Each structure stands twice: as structure tokens, then as C-alpha cells.
Amino acid sequence: MTTGSAEEVLAIDVRNLIDSLSLTEDGGAEENGTTREDESNEPGTGSLPEQGSDIEVEVVELSSTGEGLALQKGSKRVYVVPFAVPGDTVKVKVYRHLREEGYTVADFISVVTPSTSRDDSRIQCKYFATCSGCQFQMLDYDEQLRLKRRIVEKAFRHFSQLPPELIPAIQDTIGSPLQYGYRTKLTPHFDGPPGWRRSKQPFEQCPPIGFMPKGKRNTIDIEDCPIGTDAVRLGLKSERARMAVEYGKYARGATILLRESTKRIPKKQDSSSIPALAPSADGAADIKQTPASPSPPLPEDEVVRVETEEYTDLKTCVTDNNGTSTEYVGPYVFHNPAGSFFQNNNSILPVFTDYIRQHILPPSSPPTTSPSTPSINFLIDAYSGSGLFTITLSSLIPGGSVGIDISSSSIAFASRNAAANQIPEERARFVAADARALFDSVTGDAYAPDRTVVVLDPPRKGCDADFLRQLLAFGPRRVVYVSCNVHTQARDVGMLVRGETDAGAIMASGGDGGGGAAGNGGDEEAEEAHLENLKNKTTMKKEKNKRTRYAIESLRGFDFFPQTGHVEGVAVLNRVDE
């Protein structure tokens, strides 16, 4: 299975560019009696600029990693350049030649001639083009969305191993309501003192606190990050001030957690009962009710107040990994361990979850099902985390939903979140289990495949082959696959559409279950019953053991991380009933 790593994605994009350049010159080479092997300009051969030298290159393509692919005039050598877009001519410093891979990594220095799509006045961060966090701040937001649609297109073209006719047109990328100030979690860090592994001596001065520069392993000092929410940026300022005093307590590097947490107060409450804010042990802010006396003014260095027509949101920053953060997604509330995973762009979550709600059930007359197909009554939420999909979809699933995650802590919070949203256990329950053993928890008539939809939201590495084999063997009617890595998503969706993993084709559920003992020795009655059972199972296998495969209903990207090259993907699949 392909890994879908950034290195693999970049290598494929570079190879495709090299091939396209070669194709344009093949005709001329043949006319002159030469072949590609004769050309001294072949990537990876011939004279290359010295490492450390400055050269000018023109960006001709954008990789799905967000980096520019550039050419030096008169050469087919590909240079990988950050912070540049097609049409830019840029000055770069040659960093490293990768001869086997056929390209050169270069550091961005400056723009010589800007692309028509570049406007540096759009850049809102003074660390842009140094910090590795953002790639697209110079671009119009609509152009960013177009680029991300193309990233999804290329992912399915190169990683799904499907013919073009089985891949529907990629729909337009859904944008984020906020393009800055959206990240509800940041994790800046600082490196240890020089020689800290040997000396164990604490810092003598405050170290740089921030993020890594592009292509390097050190940390650059970041005073502010404009893609963070106001509460997170306030937390960064506070933590930097704390470290300026407490740096002597540290003898090694560390990561700092900055996670936004929200306390929502309905406007219908009497103003005298609006609670005061007091810091809690976990670094958040606890609400202390003081109805008997007016609340003191909320200190500006501890809280961000957001007013709407219906409520007041008090937003604070949690810095303790073991603390608890609270988020609201539309009418739903979610509590999470502050250091655990939860989507980091709250502004797009209502739009995103609404889209999943609109697509969790099939359209009224899907082309792959017959008129007699029963309605979907059950939901399985794999990789459920703290219950985002199980809870927000619960009202649409009459038979009940089950969320499954390997983390027992996530399952505990998912159950807590269901209770906080007044969802009874019969409508949403949660089980701690490895996703590879997912269907052990949902076998039987309660989750009949014809009446079940499965939601997948795996980590970046995607689903492993064991899980996909189980999914195909179970054969749910519908699958909604959410992914933070559209390349591993394309790989996995390709296997579901083909009905096979790397190990080959997989049959639908309804097999003999692995054959038990033949019976009790010479007991003829038991033997006869066993033979009849085998006969029945053989008939069932003929009827039910058909190859399971899926058709793609729709593919779409969501921009959870504006200004970056990252895009989330949603693929909707229907089982093909033949």
C-alpha cells in the first residue's frame, strides 16, 4: 500500500512534471536522430549548480504539498521551492541535489518577477516565507480554494488506481468562514539548551519559542500567529511572558499546548447572574456563580468575550494537556481532553457537519439500489474520537448509532458528550476497540449491512488493509469517508471501488463463519444435522458471497486550514448491488 506521505506525493508530482517536459521534446529529439537517453539535459545528469549557490528559477507548477516546482532557464532540472506559485520568477539558494529522485531542493530568497496571482499585500504574518506553517498567504482566497480542488483531483488520479470513468468530477472546495484567526489549537515549542543531553543544565536565558523554519530543524522565535484564534493568541502571549520568568526551571525542550475553550452563557439570564471568571488548575477558566453580587469586570488578559444575539461566549486558553476544553458546534457541545485530537477550525465545523448530515443518507433514488431496498436505520462511526459525528448525526438515525475508537479516554468523553447533549444511550453508544476489530461489536441483525451506513475518519495514514477487508466483508449499504489526507483517502476509496485490497477480492458477509466441529463421533443424528447445515450454508454462500464493491457518489474538499496547502476530503460511496 502506498503511504500517501508528503515525500511520496512530492515525488509523484515531480515525476509527472519531468515526464510532461520530456513528452514535449520527444518529437524534436526523434527528428534529430537522438533519444531521451542521449540528452545531456536529462534530470539528474549533467552539470548542476553548486550547493549553496544562488540561482533564478521560474515556477511552472504547484505540488500537492504546497511547494512550487520550478525550472532554471535552459534546463529540465526540477527545483522544489517553498513560498512560490506558478508564474513567479524567484531567487533561490540551492540546498540539496537529490539525484536519484531527479530534483533539487532549494530555499526561497526573494521574488524577482511576481506571478499575476501573487499579491504580497495580502500577507498578514511577518514570519511568512520563513516559518513553515503557511504557504498561500500571497494568494486570493478563491484561488486557494481552486488549488485545493486540484489537489483532490490529483490525489484520486494518482493514488486511487481507478480509471477516470469511475471517478466523478471533484466538486468545488468548501471554504472556511474565517481565513485568519481560525485555529483553536497551536503547539509552539522550544529546543533544549546546547548539549542538554550531557550537561542536564537549565537554560541561562529564555530560548526561542515558536515553530520550525521551512526545511530546517531549529526553532524560530514566534511572537504571534495570526491564524490562531484571539484566545489562542492571548495564550501564546501569556506563555511567552511566563517563560521569560521561568526559563531557568527547564533543562530540556518542551511543547506548549494552546487550546481554546468556550463557556457559553445564554442572553436570557439576568445580567446580575453572569458568572465571573476564575483560573482553574488546568489552565482554563472555571465559571463561579455569584448571583448575590455583581460580577467583577472580566480581566482582559484571561478571557475573550464574543457577543451574539442569543448568548455570550467566554473564550479562554487551556495550557494543561490533562485539562478539559469545551467547544460548541452549532447547537451541540463537546468536552475533550485539551491535549487530544479535535478539529482545529471551529468556524467551519457547523458547515462541515451539516454537509455530512445532508449526505449521510442516500438520495431518494440512488442509481445503485433497487426500489425495494430498505431504509438506513443504523450508523457505525469508526475512529469516533469524542463523538463528533455520532452525536451530530444521531437525530437522523432512527435505529441508533455506535461510535468506536481505540482510545478509552476518547470513548469516556464521547459518552459524556452524548449525555451533555441529552442523547440517550439507545440512540448513541460508544465502544473502546481497535478499528481492526470494529465489526465484532456490531454483528447480528441489529446492524444489518443493508440498513447501515459507516462513517470513517481515520488518521493521516488512512485505513489499514485489515480494516478495509472487514469493511468489505461486512458490506454496509453506504460509506462516508472523511479524511485529513486526501492521498491515503484516494488509495482506500480505490480499494473499496475495486472491491479488493492488496490481498485480493473480498466477499460480502454471509459465509460459513469458519466451519465448526463435525459432530459427536458416531452420533448419526448429529452427523445428519451437520450435513444439512453445510448444505444450507453452501446455498447461502451462492446467494450472499458476492464480491462487494462500491461506487463513488461524490468527492469534495473542505478548507479547514486556509493559507496552507492542506485540504480535508469527504468521499460518499454507495454499495453496488448486482
Annotated active-site positions, please? Answer: 484, 568
Q: Where are the beta strands (DSSP E) in 75-198?
A: 78-81, 89-98, 103-113, 171-174, 185-186, 189-190
User: What's the CA gap between 68 and 111, in Å, rounded?
Assistant: 13
3-state secondary structure of 311: strand
- CA proximity to 162, closest of 491, 501, 570, 510: 491
Start-to-end CA span in the chain (Å) = 28
Element (H, E) at 138: none
441, with CB counted inside 10 A (0-12, 13-18, 19+), is middle
**DSSP one-letter code for 481:** E
User: What's the CA gap between 120 and 110, in Å, rounded?
Assistant: 12
Instruction: Output phi, psi for 426, to 5 deg.
Output: -70, -15
**DSSP one-letter code for 281:** T
Give whole-number Cα distances, 305 to 309, 333, 336, 533, in Å: 13, 18, 21, 68
**DSSP one-letter code for 445:** G
User: What's the CA gap between 423 and 82, in Å, rounded?
Assistant: 47
User: What's the CA gap between 101 and 99, in Å, rounded?
Assistant: 5
Give whole-number Cα distances, 277 to 289, 305, 322, in Å: 9, 11, 20
Q: Where are the beta strands (DSSP E) in 248-372?
A: 254-255, 258-266, 276-279, 285-288, 304-307, 311-318, 324-329, 332-337
As given in the structure block, the three cell numbers for residue 132 are: 513553515
